[in-house]
Structure 1
Amino acid sequence: MADGMYGRDTDDTYAHAGFGAAVRRGERPVIVVVDLTNGFTDPAYPSGADLSDVVAATATLIEHGRAAGVPVVFTTIAYTPAEADGDIVTWLQKAPGMRAMREGSPAVAIDARLPRRDEDLLVVKKGASAFFGTGLAAALTGMGRDTVLVCGATTSGCVRATAVDAVQSGFSVLVPRDCVGDRAAGPHDAALFDIHAKYGDVIGVAEAVEHLRQLTTGVRLDV
């Protein structure tokens, strides 16, 4: 019987290659909520899916983060009319359903079920990663953050891209699995496997909440 999702051979191959070590849990985390906008969480949109469970889990994590004084950053993809209707953004040639993500439209608004506050930073991006072409890395450095808890959608797209760029920008990466979602199970599972093997730790929400709780109590149970 297979040890992991992809079988003993895959697990052994990755272990032999030296992947899968645990990342350092920093003491100054930030929660980055990637693209939990109506265009992704409402299946009425071409790019959307029913991510109600992901939204609920992320809302819970945010509330625990607030109690620990952890900042929250939201991202949205939004295109100008020139970008949405033209050939300026190469990605839109591959994913034309994303052309619905127009500046000022309901599609690019943060899902109202999330407890967003006026003081939360909103990063507007044009591509998959929350870091590429934005000031996010500089903002997190300015905040003194050392660890990024990545939530959002989609797991195989913008979440994975953000996790990769976060670790390449010098931040430890934690991905609470219930706080990320995709349009289909296969890409979701594959992306989580890849993130956990190479870029960050995929953890349960309970572990993420416990990590945040430790920040308020000063008791560290991990290393």
Structure 2
Amino acid sequence: MTDAVYGPGTDQTYAAAGFGEAVRRGSRPAIVVVDLTNGFTDPGYPSGADLTDVVAATTALIRHGRCAQVPVVYTTIAYTAAEADGDAVTWLTKAPGMRVLREGTPAVALDPRLPVDPRDHLVTKKGASAFFGTTLTSLLCGLHVDTVLLCGATTSGCVRATAVDAVQSGFSVLVPRECVGDRAPGPHEANLFDIQAKYGDVIDLDTATSYLQALTKGVAR
């Protein structure tokens, strides 16, 4: 499949270079849901796309995680009026469609289809990575997390950036394929390829839920 998309020999080239080994699956994961807010899951927004299937898969994963007492962290991008209207945030010059992500508006609210619970955590960010300039690292360390199950949007932007910073921060990264999405299939697939090769394991939802179910048995004991 990879060779068909990226050219013959791609898999062999990366394997020969020493990429693509499996990451450790720890006993204390957290589910980090990146930017599944209305501004990204509603195609009516400039920054949005129809991510109905991603929201549904993420919801299923979270419900399995609850049984294993796995913490859930949601993120949102939200800008003040001064940030959204001015030039202080360089990223908004490159991506002006994201200027709609203003504090206090429906665009930055979590998608109402998600199973948000009072026990969950919310991290507000200004950039792509959920780690950059936020309290996420200290939060995960305080929760004694060793593995991040990464969900959300978009695969080529905030998900990839968060995966890179997660592994650089010492966390194993697992990305359930059904739980991440993008505006177009090309960037989505290309970045899943890179994540699998360099930063974490891209797995299917069944594998992710089996991992959580194994933890649930440990909790039951």
TM range (shorter): over 0.9
1:103-142 maps to which residues of 2 (within 5 A)?
Answer: 103-142=103-142
> Is this contact kept in 2: 1:4–1:11, CA < 8 A?
no
- Whole-Å separation in 2 of the counterparts to 1:135 and 1:122: 10
Instruction: Quote how far apart the aligned CAs of 1:2 are.
Output: 6.7
Q: Does 1:215 align with 2:187?
A: no
- Matching residue of 2:158: 158
1:218 is paired with a residue whose SS is helix
Structure 1 residues 164-219: Cα deviation after superposition (integer angstroms, max 9, x where no partner): 00000000000000000000000000000000000000000000000000002239
> Is 1:49 equivalent to 2:43 in the alignment?
no
State the shift of 1:3 in Å. 5.3
Corresponding residue number in structure 2 for 1:77 = 77
What is the TM-score of this pair, normalised by structure 2?
0.97
Letter in 1 for 2:49: A
Describe how 1:161-180 pairs up with structure 2 within 5 A.
Answer: 161-180=161-180
Partner of residue 20, structure 1: 20
2:203 maps to which residue?
203
> CA separation in 1, counterparts of 2:72 and 2:23?
21
> What is the rounded CA distance, in whole Å, between the counterparts of 2:143 and 2:79 in structure 1?
27
Residue number in structure 1 paired with 2:87:
87
2:179–2:205: 8 Å Cα contact kept in structure 1? yes
CA distance in 1, matches of 2:122, 2:146: 19
1:54-87 C-alpha deviation (Å, 9 max, x unpaired): 0000000000000110000000000000000000
Q: Percent identity?
A: 74
Between the two proteins, the alignment pairs up a number of residues equal to 219
Kept in 1: contact 2:3–2:9 (CA 8 A): no
Give the Cα–Cα distance (whole angstroms) in 1 for the partners of residues 202 and 82 of structure 2. Answer: 38
8 Å contact from structure 2 (residues 2, 11) kept in 1: no
What is the CA–CA distance in structure 1 between the aligned matches of 2:4 and 2:209, rounded to whole Å?
25
SS in 2 for 1:47: coil
The code of the aligned residue for 1:54 comes to V
Q: Secondary structure of the residue that 2:6 maps to in structure 1? A: coil
Return the alpha-carbon distance in structure 1 between the equivalents of residues 110 and 190 of structure 2: 26
One-letter amino acid of the counterpart of residue 205, structure 2: V
Q: Deviations over 1:126-180 (max 9, x none)?
A: 0000000001001100000000000000000000000000000000000000000
Counterpart position of 1:29: 29
1:7 to partner: Cα distance: 4.0
TM-score between both structures, scaled by the size of structure 1: 0.96
* Distance in structure 2 (CA, Å) of the matches to 1:213 and 1:7: 38
Q: Structure 2 unaligned segments of length 5 or more: list them.
A: none
- 2:153 maps to a residue whose letter is A
1:39 and 1:108 in contact (8 A); partners too: yes
SS, match of residue 32 in structure 2: strand
Map 1:188-199 → 2, pairs under 5 A: 188-199=188-199
Report if aligned partners of 1:177, 1:202 keep a CA contact under 8 Å in 2.
yes
The residue identity in structure 1 corresponding to 2:114 is L
Q: 1:97 to 1:3 in 2, by over 3 A?
A: closer
Is the partner of 1:150 in helix, strand or coil? Answer: strand
User: What does residue 96 of structure 1 align with?
Assistant: 96
- Inter-CA distance 174–2: structure 2 relative to 1 (3 Å threshold): closer
**Shift in Å at residue 24 of structure 1?**
0.2
